[in-house]
Structure 1
């Protein structure tokens, strides 16, 4: 797992254009349309300042935020579990957000087709911020940057998981917030 994290960080750093600056505006960078089997959805692309309000809501819902990528086999394996949680617990005020860490150059060739093929119903956003030294510890100070990673929170409690889940494990963790 540590070797994977090192390779992920190396890839992100290697792909960074040193002459570019990260958009620090607290808005989504752009929106792209994706057609799924059942509907047309907008793929919102955020930097950390834009993502921050989405992962720190203070309302009466339980939020499940999963960081994943199409190239991450454990992430892809567990995505159906998040889709099940989204559908099964929607009436319990549970909201699922899938934050894709796919590389921007792969949005058209991999991410959008993946969303369509798997007919994802949870909200999916793309995260595009190359300053991982800022956003990884801001999301969780103990996070190595490895994925899959998940945050489950409500206005009273917040837990971070740097691991993959089975369906039962995910639901058991979620139930701590539904009491």
Structure 2
């Protein structure tokens, strides 16, 4: 079976929608799928492993990456900075394999501006009420951070038309399989 053309696919959606959970399920069910590991200035959450979940860096190192064009995109979100290291993504595409980025909306817009042929996928919750439940159920952040994330989520959900495809995260296995199909489908056009 011939591989589809190398394609950059961006997965984003509001905080708490389950992006990390869906990507983990994609990797579990389809270990051959390559997912970029983002850098962040935020502290690790319980159970997160440096180099696997994120590359955890300090602000000075993040500034160096920005200044030296080491990031494909970057954004500040809820008081922390996140970015996609440029080199690994470009290498993946150079060898003809699809690349998946799990990033926030601000970063997705930067990717769209620099790589118009990238496929943008919006991961949506079944409802806003479900999103509130997921965010508050985490127990990993104080109420003021949750409120900030919900305010941002409202704006993000209003911008769903900026995306090429919407995947509703109402069933983890189905959402993961749908994302894999999108990664391997030939570009429309």
When normalised by structure 1's length, the TM-score is 0.33
- Of the two structures, which has the highest relative contact order with CA contacts closer than 8 Å and spacing of 6 or more? 2
When normalised by structure 2's length, the TM-score is 0.32
